[in-house]
Structure 1
Amino acid sequence: MTPEEAIAALLQARAADATICPSEAARLMAGAGGDWRTRMDDVHEASGRLVDAGDVVLSWKGRPLARPEGPYRIGRSR
């Protein structure tokens, strides 16, 4: 599963206005008992690509972010 597929699957399973933590996508990619931390760079890179494509938005504590840096949440673009 690619990071983009993991992000899309998690967002699709949530309410339209819900967000996900990047670590949730990494955990989904790693599978049960897998080392999800090694997947985080891939998820951060994919988040940036998805923002550039207009597919997702990033935020932290309700404030929009332009790039995946520091703590952030991933949501559907409206």
Structure 2
Amino acid sequence: MNVTSVDIEKCMLELLARRATTASICPSDVARALLGDETGWRALMPSIRQVAARLACEERILITQGGARLDPESSIHGPIRLRRGPRFVASE
């Protein structure tokens, strides 16, 4: 399956929409929902982070690490979580 950034964005927003307003998801939740096999979803992670950074710049989601909000335009390393941002709108 050829996964596009549109597929990633839609999946990410849908997963967040299904959770409580204050809940978060792991980027790997998005990857696993799109590609079930381990090799496939792991290869997708850089694209997932790229889409997350774009959506965070638009304030549609927040990227957090250890509970602290991260700047999406900075270099982000290590485990992160994704939450609804102030401009979150569930995908259609």
* TM-score for both structures, normalised by structure 1: 0.88
Q: Sequence identity of aligned pairs in percent?
A: 29
How many residue pairs were aligned? 77
What are structure 2's unaligned runs of at least 5 residues?
A: 87-92
What are structure 1's unaligned runs of at least 5 residues?
A: none
Larger Rg: 2
Q: CA offsets, 1:32-58, max 9 Å, x none?
A: 336211111110110011011110011
Residue aligning to 1:74: 82
Residue aligning to 1:44: 49
- Report how far residue 7 of structure 1 moved: 0.7
1:3 equivalent among 8, 20, 29: 8
RMSD between superposed Cα atoms in Å? 1.6
* TM-score for both structures, normalised by structure 2: 0.76
